[in-house]
Structure 1
């Protein structure tokens, strides 16, 4: 992980999250660790997966918040202030079925127009897997426990609660596809 920790993405995520949002920083580090472990077993760009993992929640940073929708705010921060690679920006914007949450917020058209979803299913699934099998504190968990934790934390009738319940089947399908890929190519 040391090589990744010195990357600009890691430095940016640390700067934006470590002090202001230490728990979000712990989660991001856990998601990145999962990406480092997962990447060699999938047919995807490992550096892109790890960069998107460490930066996926950068939109929570007080320096990024504009709309209050962290995937959109993070993608705009990366695009507008850091001139990040378009593929990375689109992964951050659309991580973990953000389009469904954007719909709940009335931002679906904005997200789709600015940051179209990637057609690289392996990479999209891998980022979902890393995010949705990592607790808020950065530990590993099951997808079932992660979804339940999000619902419990936000409440089932809240915007985020409704979103995660709608997204749960797609999230589970992504995690399942990654699990099958891992089983087909064991260490």
Structure 2
């Protein structure tokens, strides 16, 4: 298992009891990261940690701004002293800057957690998140976006954000699938 034990413990502690479905999703995202590991080399464990922790900011006790990428990254940084690369991945997962913009939080997110410059890791985390259902099963990015719009509503902040992000999500998923195939990895 590539997921660092400490990362899994933190995610489980914060999500399993209060948000079991979110915990199932996080575990599924981590499984997707493990499938990609051979294509990532030394960054595989970093991706696995970000995958299991990406939604930790949904935990009710951590939701101070109501924007889970920012709340989760702050918690990891401030309470656990987590590595800067990992906190930036959590803060910016799945094109969070676009949702932050919808919420009026983009300048704050960019200031505290500048977007990671490692496109392979950013794409890989998008892939893992956007090809995993809320229950932790594999899906396509198209089905995942449709599910999110259906759950939140097309006119909600999340619905507007995810529709804006959809072309970027599909491109990141395609790049990740190409990298995985070139490395001989079948991610799903």
Give the TM bin, normalised by the shorter chain: over 0.9
- Aligned equivalent of 1:82: 80
For 1:180 and 1:24, how far apart are their aligned partners in 2?
Answer: 28
Q: How does 1:18-167 map to 2 (within 5 A)?
A: 18-43=16-41, 45-167=43-165
Deviation of 1:44 after TM superposition, in Å, equals 5.4
Is the contact made by 1:44 and 1:122 (CA closer than 8 Å) also made in structure 2?
no
Q: Match for 1:169 among 162, 167, 170?
A: 167
- State the SS of the aligned residue for 2:95: helix
Runs (4+) off by over 4 Å: none
Q: How many residues align?
A: 185
For 1:97 and 1:120, how far apart are their aligned partners in 2?
Answer: 14
For 1:25 and 1:140, how far apart are their aligned partners in 2?
Answer: 15
Deviation of 1:181 after TM superposition, in Å, equals 1.0
Is the contact made by 2:38 and 2:183 (CA closer than 8 Å) also made in structure 1?
no
Is the contact made by 1:134 and 1:141 (CA closer than 8 Å) also made in structure 2?
yes
For 2:74 and 2:182, how far apart are their aligned partners in 1?
Answer: 37
TM-score normalised according to structure 2 size: 0.96
Gaps of 5+ in 2: none
Gaps of 5+ in 1: none
1:2-42, Cα deviation, whole Å (9 max, x unpaired): x63x6110000000000000000000000000001112123
Deviation of 1:183 after TM superposition, in Å, equals 2.1
